[in-house]
Structure 1
Amino acid sequence: MKKLVIRFNAPVVLLFALLSLLVLLLDGWTGGVSTTRFFCVYRSSLADPLTYVRFFGHVLGHSGYSHYMNNMLLLLLVGPGLEEKYGSRNLLMTILVTALVTGLVQFIFFPGTALLGASGVVFMMIVLNSFTEMRRGGIPLTMLLVVALYLGNEVVDGLSESDNISQMTHIVGGLCGIVFGFSLARAKKR
C-alpha cells in the first residue's frame, strides 16, 4: 500500500492565500490600521512611499473573513492548475501585474474610494484558466462563454447596483486575464 504524502503544490497560490490570511489577522490585531496603511489602495500623495506598496499590497487585504473566504476559495480552486500549466514565475508575474493595474485604475479613476481584496486577481485567474485549452490559433468556446458571462455580469452589476463591490476591478482583472492568456499562449508556441 502506498503511503499518502501531502505535497506542497502551487507555492505561489498557497503563499498568496497564507499572506492574505496573515494580513487579515493583522487587521484584527491593529483595529484595521495595518490594512488601511498598507493593504488598501486609495488616492494619496505620490511622494509617500507607501502609495507604491499599496499599488501591490491591496490584493492581500480583505474587509473581513467572508470577503477573504470568497476570494481564497476561488483562488485555491483555479490557481493551482494555472501554476502547474504556466509555472510559478509566470503566475507570480500575472498576479503582480494585475495588482498594479487594478491599483492604478483605482488610484486614477476613483479618487474618493478605497479598494482592497483579491477579486481582480481571482477574475484574472478565472479568465486565464479558460485559455488552458487554447490550441493552434483556435479560441475555446468555454473562454468566450466565461468572458461573456463574468465580464458581462460585472458590467450589468456596475450599471445597476450600488454596493461595496468594485465591478471595475473584476472587469480590469478579467481583461488582464485575456491579455495574459494570449501572451502566454503565444510565448508557449515559440
Structure 2
Amino acid sequence: MLFEECCSVIENTGFNRLRQYADNVNVYCTYRDERMNIVFVWNEAALAGFSPELIDNQNRSVVAFFTQKGVFNCRLLNIICTYNTGMSKRNTAAYFPVWFIDENTGKLIIYEEQPDDFAGLREVIENIDISVVARRGKKSCHRAKIVPTYVNWFLIAVNIIVFAIMEIRDSTTDTAYMLKSGALNVSLVLDRGEYYRLFTSMFMHGGFSHIFNNMLVLFCIGDNLERAVGHVKYLIMYIVGGLLANIAALIYYDVMNMNVCCVGASGAIFAVVGALFYIVIINKGRLEDLSVYKLGLFIVMSIYLGFQSTTTSNSAHIGGLAAGFILAMLIYRKGKGTRL
C-alpha cells in the first residue's frame, strides 16, 4: 500500500513516470535544479528478483539513456518500501543512493552518507499518513470483494448451458450437426443470407476442451474488464467485439475460398483482451493484477499457438483483438465506470 502511495505523491510533485522494469518497480524523472532527477521506487516483493548488482545496473542504464540524449548532469535515488529495513540496508545501502520506507510504521528512514533531500521529495514522503493509507487499502480490498461481475458470470453460464444442451442432443464435434445448429459458414451466410450465424456461433463450442479453454480465459480476465468499464459497456464490448471478430473471419474465409465450419467464443474473448490491452496502456501499464507485459505475452503466445493449429480461427482472434481495442478507445473513459 505504501508503494502505491509513494508513487502517487512522487507523480503529484511533478515527476514523470519513465518506465516500468517489472512488477512493483517504477521509475520517475524530472528536470529540476538544472539537472535530471531520477527516482526508482521499489516494492519489497521486487527485491527478491534483483541483486544489489542488478539494481545498480538498472540505475546505470537509465543514466546512460539520458546521457545518450545529451543530458549529462543526472542524479539518482532509490526508494525501497520494505518491512525489514535492517536487512534491506545491509543488502543495498553500500551500492547506491537509497532511502527506505518502513511498511510497518510508514516512517522514512535515511541513513548516514545518503542524501538528506532529493528534489523536495523528503517532505512529501514524510507527510504520508500511514493510517490513511491503511484505511484506503482496507476500503479497496472491501470494494474488490463486493464489486459483482454479473455479466461475466452470465456469459460463462450461457456458454456452458448452450454447450450442455447441444452435447445432450448430439455430438458437438459433428460438423453436420453444428452447421444445422447455427455454426458460422461462408456459403450459408453469404449465399443463403443466414446472418444470424454471426451471433449464434459465438455461443457454440466443438467439444469439451474447446469450451473449457475458452471459459477458463473468460473467467480469468472478463471480470477485470467488467469492473473497469461497467456491466452494460462490458456486455456491449463482448457482443459487438464477437460479431466483428466473426465478420473478420467470414471475410477471410470468403477471400481464401475456404468453406469451413466455425464456432466458439474466442473471437469475443479476444475482443475482451484487446479492450483490456488498451485500458492497461492508458492506465500507465497496469490495471488491478494485469500489466502490459502479461497481456502482451498472452496475446503473442495465443496467436503463435493459433498458427500452429489447423483448427484455430486466427482471423477471428486477430479481428476480435483489433475490434476490442477500437471499442475500448470509443467507449472507455478513464475515471468513469465501476473501477477499482
TM-score bin (small chain): 0.7 to 0.9
1:10 to 137, 149, 162: 149
1:55 to 177, 182, 198: 198
Q: Distance in 2 between matches of 1:128 and 1:94?
A: 8
Structure 1 segments unaligned to the other structure (5+ residues)? 1-5
Assess if the C-alpha contact under 8 Å between 1:58 and 1:99 holds in 2: no
2:292 to 116, 140, 143: 143
Deviation at 1:65, TM superposition (A): 1.3
Deviation at 1:75, TM superposition (A): 0.4
Bigger fraction of residues in strand: 2
- After superposition, the C-alpha distances for 1:161-180 in whole angstroms (9 at most, x for unaligned) are 35211122211111122212
Q: Distance in 2 between matches of 1:121 and 1:144?
A: 21
1:128 to 275, 286, 297: 275
Q: Structure 2: which amino acid aligns with 1:117?
A: G
Assess if the C-alpha contact under 8 Å between 1:134 and 1:185 holds in 2: no
Assess if the C-alpha contact under 8 Å between 1:10 and 1:88 holds in 2: yes
Q: Distance in 2 between matches of 1:26 and 1:120?
A: 22
Q: Structure 2: which amino acid aligns with 1:54?
A: R
- After superposition, the C-alpha distances for 1:126-166 in whole angstroms (9 at most, x for unaligned) are 2322334444xx7638437734x44444555565x352111
Aligned: 1:172 with 2:323: no
Identity %: 21
Bigger fraction of residues in helix: 1
Q: Distance in 1 between matches of 2:306 and 2:335?
A: 35
Q: Structure 1: which amino acid aligns with 2:152?
A: V
Assess if the C-alpha contact under 8 Å between 1:119 and 1:170 holds in 2: yes
Deviation at 1:37, TM superposition (A): 3.0
Q: Distance in 2 between matches of 1:67 and 1:105?
A: 20
Assess if the C-alpha contact under 8 Å between 1:60 and 1:116 holds in 2: yes
Q: Distance in 2 between matches of 1:150 and 1:27?
A: 30
Q: CA RMSD in A?
A: 3.0
Query: What secondary structure is seen at the aligned counterpart in 1 of 2:278?
Result: coil
Aligned: 1:22 with 2:165: no
Assess if the C-alpha contact under 8 Å between 2:202 and 2:242 holds in 1: yes
Aligned: 1:66 with 2:209: yes
Q: Structure 2: which amino acid aligns with 1:92?
A: L
Larger C-alpha radius of gyration, 1 or 2? 2
Assess if the C-alpha contact under 8 Å between 1:127 and 1:174 holds in 2: yes
- The structure-2 alpha-carbon separation of the partners of 1:8 and 1:19, relative to structure 1 and needing over 3 Å to count, comes to farther
Q: Structure 2: which amino acid aligns with 1:164?
A: T
Q: Structure 1: which amino acid aligns with 2:246?
A: G
Q: Which protein, 1 or 2, shows the higher relative CO under an 8 Å CA cutoff with sep ≥ 6?
A: 1
Q: Structure 1: which amino acid aligns with 2:161?
A: L
